[in-house]
A and B are shown apart, each in its own frame.
Chain A
Amino acid sequence: DTGVSQNPRHKITKRGQNVTFRCDPISEHNRLYWYRQTLGQGPEFLTYFQNEAQLEKSRLLSDRFSAERPKGSFSTLEIQRTEQGDSAMYLCASSRRGHINTGELFFGEGSRLTVL
C-alpha cells in the first residue's frame, strides 16, 4: 500500500527562478489537494482537483502559481519567479470522493522550498 509521494523533498533555489513539485497520490484516490505550511502555522489550502478538473483555488494562490493534473493521476505545482516569501513546505494530499467514513485526507511528506 503506497502512500502519497512527493518530489523533490527539498528544493533550494534563487529568487526569480521557477520551481516545480510533483505529487503522486494514492492510486484509487480521485481528489488531490495542495497545501502550504510555514513555520508556526497550520497547513493552508491552495487548490484541489477532482480527477483532472481543478475545482477550487485559494486566493493565496497568486498568478505565479499554477497546478495541473493532466490525466487525473499525478499533479504538478509550479511556482514562477520565486520570491523569498514562497519559502515553505508544500504538502500534497489525496482522498476518495464519497469517502464518508472519515473524510480524511492522506498527506505526503511534503516538499520544502527554500528561496535564497
Chain B
Amino acid sequence: DQQVKQNSPSLSVQEGRISILNCDYTNSMFDYFLWYKKYPAEGPTFLISISSIKDKNEDGRFTVFLNKSAKHLSLHIVPSQPGDSAVYFCAASATGGGNKLTFGTGTQLKVEL
C-alpha cells in the first residue's frame, strides 16, 4: 500500500529550464510534506517543506505547491542547474506521528548542459 507515490522514475531537463517533480498521496491524515534530495552513497538531505495550511512555499530556486483537494504536490526548480542532478524523494507526515516520514519511490532528475 503505497501512500506516497511518485509516478515518474526519471526526468531529464536542460540547464536553465524548469524542473517539475510530482507527488501524489492517499492518506488524508498527512498534514506536512517534505522534499528530500539524495546523491549516490549519501543519505537524503532535506530540501523544502510545506504545511497543509499553505498551498505554496518558496525557498530560492525551489518552490513546492500543494493541492490538498487533489492530494497532489509538486516541486519546481527554476532555473535547473547540473548540480541539481540527484534523486528527489517526496515525503509526508501526520501530526501525532512522531515526525515519522512516509516516502515515495523517488524521481531521478538529470539536468543536462
Q: Which residues of A contact B (CB under 8 A)?
A: 4, 31, 33, 40-45, 48, 50, 55-56, 91, 93, 95, 97, 99, 102-110
Contacts and interface: CB of A to CB of B under 8 A. Distances in A.
Kindly name the residue among B43, B100, B105, B106 whose own CB sees the greatest number of chain A CB atoms within 10 A: B43
A99 B103 contact: no
Contact of A102 (B4, B34, B89, B102): B34
Contact of A50 (B6, B32, B98, B102): B98
Contacts of B6: 42
B14 interface: no
Interface residues of B, number: 25
B79 interface: no
Contact of A110 (B9, B36, B43, B98): B43
11 contacts: A41-B106, A42-B6, A45-B100, A50-B98, A91-B43, A102-B46, A103-B32, A103-B93, A104-B46, A106-B46, A107-B43
